[in-house]
Amino acid sequence: MSTVPTVTERPAAAGPLATAAPVRRPTAERRRRELRDRVILYVPLSLYVIFTAVPFYWMLMFALRPAGSTSLVPWPITFEHFHTVWVGAGFAIFFKNSVFVAVMSLILTTFVALLGGYAIARYRFRGKALFLIIMLCTQFIPGAMMLIPLFDIFRTVGLINSLGSLIVADTVFQLPLSIILMFGFIRNVPVELEEAAWMDGCSRLRGFRLIMLPLMRPAIVAVGSFAFINAWNNFLFALMFLNIQDRFTVPVGLGYMLGEFSVDFGALAAGGVVAALPVVLVFAYVQKFLVQGLSAGAVKG
């Protein structure tokens, strides 16, 4: 007796004409929730952008529009105020002094912070935790409290009316935070990388130069950019330690443009643009390194 084979029906394969699953359309409640989230996000951001951008636009408007104009749009554009500031007010000398002080502070702060952060991260010694706490506590001391002691010290060593006093003061006040950032970044780099270089015959200095420095570029850029900007914007030290006009920096030069009975707002705005331009350019170049450098240098518990 022969057995008839049973044919099993297979489901049809899904083809281009197969029925698609129904698309879920957002409900009214979901739309309201999304709208609310967008309002909560974009309204504060828009207010912050307006609050930040309006002063810059106001400064550019006064700097670029002709003297005596009351238009809210700087047209026709003129650069007479920049010529007055750069040539007449001596901003060419102030700008050169500020660049020299900021660059030297950047180099010294970055170099010392690099060595200090490496020493704290890689060497063991008594009192290391206490040393870090003391450095953190120095950030709570305002610079105005140190003006009289610093002035007396600089007068004794002959640094009054010298740009060297600004370089020393800016470097010393920026070192604690810079060392802590470098320490946190170096501690996150595995020491095994350096040990492998030592096993291959590298000295500690050569291993540091070949292994650590390329990895520490974000931290170096972050520390250097903050050192440059803080030194560039420092007004209090420059006002107290410098009495000769040829030694003035840009912030002090802006302060002396405020007359007792009259103020040239166009020239003052042009000076503000000159003062803000280097900071904007520095941030535009290093912004991609700042977040990485600061997050990597954050000290963990």
pLDDT one-digit tens code per residue, 32-71: 888 888 888 888 888 888 888 888 888 888 888 877 776 7
Distance CA 259, CA 35 (A): 51
Region of poorest pLDDT, from 10-14, 99-103, 124-128, 159-163: 10-14
Centre a 10 Å sphere on the Cβ of residue 172 and count the other Cβ atoms it contains: 16
Best mean pLDDT range from 71-80, 110-119, 194-203: 110-119
Q: Residues 210-239: what's their mean pLDDT? A: 86
274 and 133: one domain? yes
Q: Is residue 18 in some structural domain?
A: no
What does the mean pLDDT of the chain come to?
80
Q: Residues 259-267: what's their mean pLDDT? A: 70
Of 231 and 263, the structure prediction assigns the larger pLDDT to 231
178 and 37: one domain? no
137 and 263: one domain? yes
pLDDT at 259 over 90: no
Distance CA 135, CA 138 (A): 5
pLDDT at 89 over 60: yes
Q: Could you report the per-residue pLDDT of 90-118, keeping only the tens digit for each?
A: 788 999 999 999 999 999 999 999 988 88
142 and 260: one domain? yes
Which of 40, 56, 78 is the C-terminal boundary of a domain?
78
260 pLDDT band, cuts 50/70/90, is low
Of 300 and 130, the structure prediction assigns the larger pLDDT to 130
Q: Is residue 46 in some structural domain?
A: yes
For residue 59, what are the contacts with CB-CB under 8 A and spacing of at least 6? 269, 272, 273, 276
Is 101 in contact with 166 (CB distance < 8 Å)? yes
Q: Residues 197-211: what's their mean pLDDT? A: 82
Domain of 73 in residue numbering reads as: 32-78
Binning the chain into helix, strand and coil, the percentages to the nearest 5 are: 70, 0, 30
68 and 112: one domain? no
Q: Is residue 210 in some structural domain?
A: yes
Q: Is residue 16 in some structural domain?
A: no
- Length in residues, the chain: 301
pLDDT score at 119: 87
DSSP 8-state class, residue 195 = H
Q: How far is CA 269 from the centre of its chain?
A: 23
